[in-house]
Amino acid sequence: MATVRQFQVTFDCADPERVARFWCDVLGYVVPPPPPGFSSWSEFDASLPPEHQGSAFACVDPTGVGPRLFFQRVPEGKVVKNRVHLDVRVGTGLVGDERLAALEAECARLLPLGAVRQRLLVADGINESCLVMQDVEGNEFCLD
C-alpha cells in the first residue's frame, strides 16, 4: 500500500484567481510558473476554450513544505458553514494577552486584503483563544 506524503487543498469558489491571490498574501505563497510554452498564466488562460477560461488557479508554498492550494470555479455560491477550514497558525506557543496581541495584529494585516473578522473565541481553560475570519468569498478560516 502506498503512503501519501503530499496533499492539495481545493477550494470551490466563484473567482479562482482572486481567492488564490488572497491566500498567497495571507500565507506567503506564490503563483507557480505557467505551463511550458506559455510566458504567463494569462496567455495560458487565453488558449483555453472560453468556457474554461478563468476556471482554475493555484498557489504553492515557495519552501515546498506546505500543501498546494487549488481554486476551482463552481456555479453555485457558498450556502452554509465550511465543514473543513484552514487554521493560520500565528499564535503557536503564545498564551493570554501575548496570544491575543498576535491574533489581533494578523487580523489587522488581513482586513485590507479583503478578509472579514467574524468573532473572537476567548480561551476557556481547555482551548487557547482563536479568531474566526472569512476570506474574500466568505470561506471561514481561523487565526490560531
Give the residue-averaged pLDDT of 67-77.
93
pLDDT of residue 99: 93
pLDDT of residue 94: 92
- Written as nine digits, the cell of 100 is 491575543
pLDDT band at 77 (very low <50, low <70, confident <90, very high): confident
pLDDT at 144 over 90: yes
What residue spans define the domains of the chain? 8-73, 86-143
Amino acid at 62: P
Across the strands, what pairs with 11?
71
pLDDT of residue 126: 86
pLDDT at 1 over 80: no
Q: Which residue has the cell 481567492?
A: 19
User: Could you report how far apart the first and last alpha carbons of the chain are, in Å?
Assistant: 34
pLDDT at 36 over 80: yes
pTM of the model: 0.89
Reported as a single tens digit per residue, the pLDDT across 94-140 is 999 999 999 999 999 999 999 999 999 998 888 899 999 999 999 99
pLDDT at 53 over 80: yes
